[in-house]
Amino acid sequence: MRLRRSAGLAVAGLAVFGMAACGTSEQASTGNAPPTQPPPPPATTQMADAEFGSACGAVPKEGAGSFEGMAQDPVATAASNNPVLSTLVSAVKQAGLVDTLNTAKNITVFAPTNDAFAKIPKETLDKVLADKATLTKILTYHVVGKQVTPSDLTMGNFETLEKGAVSTTGSGQSFKVNDANVVCGNVKTANATVYIIDSVLMPPAA
């Protein structure tokens, strides 16, 4: 009887010791481990918040025409402060669209650079600028009535304010709108997302 009691006490002692040892090991493994760092945001999230493209370097670094400055103003005003869009701004004023663009909500503008307008023969450009109806048709063909993100550009088809449609293709930081290349994309203004392009888009019936 005494032998059985001694053996039982020994087993109980080993069990208690084993539980204490496990607890010490678990505390050591959790208490001394370095805190887990959250994973970096995916590349698509980073790009969704940043401007991209080969011509972004031509945008002023400071002032009202910089990316930070443009984000404070509605789109027509913001474009007027950016020297690479001066021809577009003149055309918008000529067509009487400044207020239309500035008061619109959450739109997307495909904005041709000065060099894009320079591709059009001067005689043709002067004729278009003098014809308000045709000019308005062309300019509103560059505007989509909703916000278009870079990921939306991968393969998209968007109705414009002109009631026509533009198609977009591409990936990463390389996109096309119809046959025009996006040279500086995802530029934010107070009421619009702007994609600066290297050619003027022409609606089919223009």
Q: Decide if 17 is inside a domain.
A: no
The closest of 199, 196, 200, 201 to 53, measured between CA atoms, is 196
Classify residue 21: in a domain, yes or no.
Answer: no
Residue 54 domain-assigned (yes or no): yes
Question: Residue 35 has what pLDDT?
Answer: 53
Distance CA 135, CA 92 (A): 8
**Residue 183 located in a structural domain:** yes
Q: Say how far apart CA 22 and CA 96 lie, in whole Å.
A: 79
pLDDT at residue 135, as a whole number: 98
- Establish if 28 belongs to a structural domain: no
Identity of residue 115 = D
pLDDT truncated to tens, each residue of the chain (206 aa)? 444 444 444 444 434 334 444 444 444 444 555 555 555 444 444 455 799 999 999 888 999 999 999 999 999 999 999 999 999 999 999 999 999 999 999 999 999 999 999 999 999 999 999 999 999 999 999 999 999 999 999 999 999 999 999 999 999 999 999 999 999 999 999 999 999 999 999 998 75
- For the stretch 7-46, pLDDT in tens is 444 444 434 334 444 444 444 444 555 555 555 444 444 4
Quote the pLDDT of residue 33.
52
Dihedral over alpha carbons 124, 163, 53, 200 (to 10 degrees): 0
Which pLDDT value is given to residue 36? 57
Number of domains in the chain: 1
Q: Which pLDDT score is estimated for 25?
A: 45
CA angle, corner 109, sides to 93 and 191, nearest 5? 85
H or E stretch including 186? strand 180-188
Output the pLDDT for position 6. Answer: 45
pLDDT at 206: 59
Query: What is the pLDDT, as a whole number, of residue 7?
Result: 43
* Nearest by Cα to 47 from 172, 170, 196: 172
Tell me if the pTM is above 0.85: no
Question: How much is the pLDDT for 27?
Answer: 45
The enclosing domain of 191 has a CATH number of 2.30.180.10
Amino acid at 21: A
Structure tokens of 198? 């290297």
Token pair belonging to 154: 């991968």
Identify the domain containing residue 120 by its residue range. 43-197
Q: Give 42's DSSP letter.
A: P
3-state secondary structure of 175: strand
